[in-house]
Structure 1
Protein backbone atom coordinates (compact mmCIF):
# COMPACT_ATOMS: atom_id res chain seq x y z
CA UNK A 1 0.00 0.00 0.00
CA UNK A 2 2.84 2.41 0.78
CA UNK A 3 4.32 1.76 -2.67
CA UNK A 4 1.06 2.81 -4.39
CA UNK A 5 0.80 5.90 -2.18
CA UNK A 6 4.35 6.94 -3.07
CA UNK A 7 3.64 6.52 -6.79
CA UNK A 8 0.46 8.57 -6.50
CA UNK A 9 2.27 11.32 -4.57
CA UNK A 10 5.06 11.32 -7.15
CA UNK A 11 2.57 11.67 -10.00
CA UNK A 12 0.82 14.54 -8.24
CA UNK A 13 4.12 16.34 -7.74
CA UNK A 14 5.25 15.76 -11.33
CA UNK A 15 2.03 17.14 -12.82
CA UNK A 16 0.87 19.71 -10.24
CA UNK A 17 4.09 21.50 -9.29
CA UNK A 18 4.83 22.76 -12.83
CA UNK A 19 1.30 24.18 -12.98
CA UNK A 20 1.87 26.12 -9.78
CA UNK A 21 5.02 27.89 -11.03
CA UNK A 22 3.70 29.06 -14.40
CA UNK A 23 2.61 32.47 -13.10
CA UNK A 24 3.77 35.30 -15.33
CA UNK A 25 4.00 39.08 -15.00
CA UNK A 26 2.75 40.77 -18.18
CA UNK A 27 3.96 44.30 -18.97
CA UNK A 28 0.81 46.06 -20.15
CA UNK A 29 1.55 47.50 -23.57
CA UNK A 30 4.88 45.63 -23.74
CA UNK A 31 7.73 48.12 -24.34
CA UNK A 32 5.29 51.00 -24.95
CA UNK A 33 4.02 50.73 -21.38
CA UNK A 34 0.81 52.25 -20.06
CA UNK A 35 0.05 55.81 -21.15
CA UNK A 36 -2.90 58.04 -21.84
CA UNK A 37 -0.57 60.36 -23.75
CA UNK A 38 0.40 57.93 -26.51
CA UNK A 39 -2.24 56.17 -28.63
CA UNK A 40 -1.89 52.42 -28.14
CA UNK A 41 -4.35 49.61 -28.84
CA UNK A 42 -4.41 47.76 -25.52
CA UNK A 43 -7.32 45.62 -26.71
CA UNK A 44 -5.23 44.36 -29.61
CA UNK A 45 -2.28 43.80 -27.24
CA UNK A 46 -4.41 41.68 -24.89
CA UNK A 47 -5.91 39.55 -27.68
CA UNK A 48 -2.61 37.76 -28.24
CA UNK A 49 -2.23 36.69 -24.61
CA UNK A 50 -3.70 33.80 -22.62
CA UNK A 51 -3.92 35.14 -19.09
CA UNK A 52 -4.05 32.73 -16.15
CA UNK A 53 -6.51 34.41 -13.81
CA UNK A 54 -5.34 34.08 -10.22
CA UNK A 55 -1.77 33.25 -11.26
CA UNK A 56 -0.62 35.95 -13.67
CA UNK A 57 -0.11 39.61 -12.82
CA UNK A 58 -0.24 42.80 -14.84
CA UNK A 59 2.58 45.35 -14.54
CA UNK A 60 1.69 48.93 -15.41
CA UNK A 61 4.75 51.09 -16.16
CA UNK A 62 3.93 54.76 -16.74
CA UNK A 63 4.87 58.37 -16.02
CA UNK A 64 3.44 58.94 -12.54
CA UNK A 65 3.33 62.71 -13.17
CA UNK A 66 0.76 62.39 -15.96
CA UNK A 67 -0.96 59.03 -15.48
CA UNK A 68 -2.29 56.65 -12.86
CA UNK A 69 -4.05 53.29 -12.76
CA UNK A 70 -7.50 52.86 -11.23
CA UNK A 71 -9.21 49.56 -10.55
CA UNK A 72 -12.96 49.88 -11.04
CA UNK A 73 -15.97 47.58 -11.18
CA UNK A 74 -17.17 46.25 -14.52
CA UNK A 75 -20.21 48.54 -14.37
CA UNK A 76 -18.06 51.61 -13.65
CA UNK A 77 -15.73 50.66 -16.51
CA UNK A 78 -18.63 50.39 -18.96
CA UNK A 79 -20.08 53.74 -17.82
CA UNK A 80 -16.62 55.36 -17.68
CA UNK A 81 -17.12 56.24 -14.01
CA UNK A 82 -13.88 56.60 -12.06
CA UNK A 83 -15.33 58.40 -9.05
CA UNK A 84 -15.29 55.37 -6.73
CA UNK A 85 -12.30 53.19 -7.64
CA UNK A 86 -11.73 49.90 -5.86
CA UNK A 87 -8.01 50.74 -5.79
CA UNK A 88 -5.75 53.52 -7.05
CA UNK A 89 -2.12 53.11 -8.09
CA UNK A 90 0.29 55.97 -8.74
CA UNK A 91 3.87 54.80 -8.29
CA UNK A 92 4.67 54.56 -12.01
CA UNK A 93 5.47 50.86 -11.70
CA UNK A 94 2.57 48.86 -10.25
CA UNK A 95 2.05 45.10 -10.41
CA UNK A 96 -1.48 43.84 -9.85
CA UNK A 97 -2.46 40.18 -9.63
Structure 2
Protein backbone atom coordinates (compact mmCIF):
# COMPACT_ATOMS: atom_id res chain seq x y z
CA UNK A 1 0.00 0.00 0.00
CA UNK A 2 1.38 3.40 -0.92
CA UNK A 3 1.49 6.38 1.40
CA UNK A 4 0.47 9.91 0.44
CA UNK A 5 4.13 10.95 0.32
CA UNK A 6 4.79 8.22 -2.27
CA UNK A 7 2.04 9.43 -4.57
CA UNK A 8 3.46 11.85 -7.16
CA UNK A 9 0.10 13.58 -7.65
CA UNK A 10 -0.19 14.23 -3.90
CA UNK A 11 3.38 15.51 -3.83
CA UNK A 12 2.81 17.79 -6.82
CA UNK A 13 -0.43 19.21 -5.43
CA UNK A 14 1.13 19.77 -2.01
CA UNK A 15 4.05 21.57 -3.64
CA UNK A 16 1.65 23.84 -5.52
CA UNK A 17 -0.30 24.52 -2.32
CA UNK A 18 2.96 25.41 -0.54
CA UNK A 19 3.91 27.80 -3.36
CA UNK A 20 0.54 29.51 -3.04
CA UNK A 21 0.86 29.73 0.74
CA UNK A 22 4.25 31.42 0.34
CA UNK A 23 2.74 33.91 -2.13
CA UNK A 24 -0.11 34.63 0.29
CA UNK A 25 2.40 35.45 3.05
CA UNK A 26 4.38 37.67 0.69
CA UNK A 27 1.22 39.57 -0.28
CA UNK A 28 0.08 39.98 3.32
CA UNK A 29 3.51 41.35 4.25
CA UNK A 30 3.31 43.80 1.34
CA UNK A 31 -0.15 44.83 2.52
CA UNK A 32 1.13 45.47 6.05
CA UNK A 33 3.98 47.60 4.68
CA UNK A 34 1.58 49.62 2.51
CA UNK A 35 -0.84 50.18 5.39
CA UNK A 36 2.07 51.29 7.57
CA UNK A 37 3.08 53.79 4.87
CA UNK A 38 -0.54 54.94 4.48
CA UNK A 39 -0.98 55.43 8.22
CA UNK A 40 2.26 57.43 8.46
CA UNK A 41 1.00 59.70 5.68
CA UNK A 42 -2.41 60.04 7.33
CA UNK A 43 -0.79 60.89 10.68
CA UNK A 44 1.36 63.59 9.07
CA UNK A 45 -1.68 65.15 7.37
CA UNK A 46 -4.30 64.78 10.09
CA UNK A 47 -6.37 62.25 8.17
CA UNK A 48 -8.40 59.71 10.20
CA UNK A 49 -6.68 56.32 10.37
CA UNK A 50 -9.66 54.02 9.96
CA UNK A 51 -12.17 54.15 7.14
CA UNK A 52 -15.14 51.79 7.63
CA UNK A 53 -16.58 52.97 4.30
CA UNK A 54 -13.38 51.90 2.52
CA UNK A 55 -13.61 48.46 4.13
CA UNK A 56 -17.26 48.12 3.08
CA UNK A 57 -16.47 49.14 -0.49
CA UNK A 58 -13.57 46.66 -0.63
CA UNK A 59 -15.81 43.83 0.62
CA UNK A 60 -18.35 44.72 -2.06
CA UNK A 61 -15.63 44.79 -4.74
CA UNK A 62 -14.13 41.49 -3.62
CA UNK A 63 -17.46 39.68 -3.40
CA UNK A 64 -18.34 40.84 -6.92
CA UNK A 65 -14.94 39.67 -8.20
CA UNK A 66 -15.06 36.31 -6.40
CA UNK A 67 -15.59 33.54 -8.92
CA UNK A 68 -15.35 30.74 -6.36
CA UNK A 69 -14.96 28.08 -5.24
CA UNK A 70 -14.50 30.21 -2.10
CA UNK A 71 -17.96 31.09 -0.77
CA UNK A 72 -18.89 34.74 -0.30
CA UNK A 73 -19.20 34.22 3.47
CA UNK A 74 -15.74 32.65 3.64
CA UNK A 75 -14.29 35.45 1.52
CA UNK A 76 -15.69 38.08 3.89
CA UNK A 77 -14.33 36.21 6.93
CA UNK A 78 -10.87 35.89 5.35
CA UNK A 79 -10.82 39.54 4.27
CA UNK A 80 -11.90 40.79 7.70
CA UNK A 81 -9.22 38.66 9.33
CA UNK A 82 -6.60 40.09 6.97
CA UNK A 83 -7.80 43.65 7.64
CA UNK A 84 -7.79 43.20 11.43
CA UNK A 85 -4.37 41.53 11.38
CA UNK A 86 -3.02 44.27 9.13
CA UNK A 87 -4.31 46.95 11.51
CA UNK A 88 -2.71 45.21 14.49
CA UNK A 89 0.61 44.90 12.69
CA UNK A 90 0.51 48.51 11.46
CA UNK A 91 -0.19 49.67 15.02
CA UNK A 92 2.76 47.59 16.22
CA UNK A 93 5.01 49.15 13.58
CA UNK A 94 3.78 52.66 14.38
CA UNK A 95 4.53 52.23 18.08
CA UNK A 96 7.84 50.49 17.47
Regarding TM over 0.5, the answer is no
* TM norm structure 2: 0.34
* TM norm structure 1: 0.34
Q: Which is richer in strand?
A: 1
Q: Which is richer in helix?
A: 2
